[in-house]
Chains A and B, each alone.
Chain A
């Protein structure tokens, strides 16, 4: 397809190729930022999360290999971990917020950008088939990073049932999503 694969770019980034870093950045900026923003609800913090992810990619060698699955999935996991770290730091009031003192013109990227509109629509539909409680549980567990006991307390359900409920909700979601969204399921995202 004439498009450099994520893995090829990642390998070049490992060799400290700045051009490859920028291409990878352009490709994932929007997705990683949007995901971080959903988790952190603050643009400054979301930017910090994205920066942490690219710091890792640039500085730490050999974090990703193809046996870890798709690069995009791995990258999203790294992003979620960065967000979770910031949530924890924020709870301890240790977090520093990057300040945007200097602004630039937004440059329209020539590089292909990952978009996920169709996936989102399809996922939202799947989510709406969950009960309200299930939706809350998924939100609290995955996007807010709550502990099981926090979820039990907030939803007034026995602690011992929390894990089972999260699993059930996620399984249901995945089933509906993958059935409905087959034609643009996750496989479509490179």
Chain B
């Protein structure tokens, strides 16, 4: 027994040890009977405490978001990955990066539409709340359309696919080599119809700049999506697109 290491038990319990200290304690815990006993004691002493929590109402849509993200993370996206995007010429459009000028005017268009966006989206969602029921699907049924996304200024690449699952259209976005986000920054995905952007969802890439996300597309009414775009936003809460468009492609 090393008393000094044993003293770390509660700090470890509260996730306060990092790196070498954490590794050392975990190793120690496996070998130290006194610590194992004490660990079990703390587990027992605190076992009832979670039930002190007042009932809190989960946010609307949490279940669908979580189950979609959890199962998409390895099965549907991985499944999708195996489709050779380049060989399916009919549904794949290789689109060169949008030109800078075009991108600027587009950003302005987005900005102009931005103020309306949250209202519009909320109205859609409100209606949607009364209508649809999301069911977790067993598998992806059909890829409607796949486009490659590319960036003019960085190494970033991506693939966006519209995937039909029974009655639900999903937008699957995979990205590589995206610039890391800092602090509250995120990437937002937009579907564009005419000059109106619809926010499809938000994501942050992993430490390698890679990301894969599935967003159910549930805007009311029929839509002819013209383009898909990814913008880099300063905060996940920005209701209008204030950031820069990093990748885009016509659909």
Asked if B16 is at the interface of the complex by the 8 Å CB criterion, the answer is yes
Q: Which of A29, A54, A124, A167 contacts B58 (CB 8 A)?
A: A29
> Which residues of B lie under 8 Å from residue A79 when comparing CB positions?
50
Instruction: Indicate whether B71 reaches chain A with its CB closer than 8 angstroms.
Output: yes
Contact with B75, one of A16, A120, A148 (Cβ below 8 angstroms)? A16
Residues from chain B with a CB closer than 8 A to the CB of A29 are: 58, 62-63
**A10 interfacial by beta-carbon distance below 8 Å:** no
30 contacts between A and B (CB under 8 A): A21-B71, A25-B63, A25-B67, A26-B63, A34-B54, A34-B55, A34-B56, A35-B53, A37-B53, A47-B59, A47-B66, A55-B69, A59-B74, A76-B47, A81-B15, A85-B15, A87-B15, A100-B62, A101-B199, A101-B201, A102-B215, A103-B129, A104-B64, A104-B128, A105-B129, A105-B132, A120-B54, A123-B51, A163-B10, A171-B45
For A82, the closest partner residue in chain B by CB is: B15
Which residue of chain B is the closest to A117 with respect to CB atoms? B55
Nearest residue in A to B181 (C-beta to C-beta)? A96
Any chain A CB within 8 A of the CB of B24? no
Chain B min CB distance to A18 (Å): 6
Whether the pair B133, A104 counts as a contact (CB closer than 8 A) is yes
Residues of B within 8 A of A (CB): 10-11, 14-16, 43-56, 58-67, 69-71, 73-75, 121, 125, 128-134, 136, 138, 181, 183-184, 186, 199-202, 204, 215-216, 218, 236-237
CA distance A57 to B136 in the complex (A): 17
Chain A binding surface SS class: helix
> Complex Cα distance A138/B61, Å?
33
In the complex with contacts A147-B14, A147-B16, A100-B69 CB distance below 8 A:
no
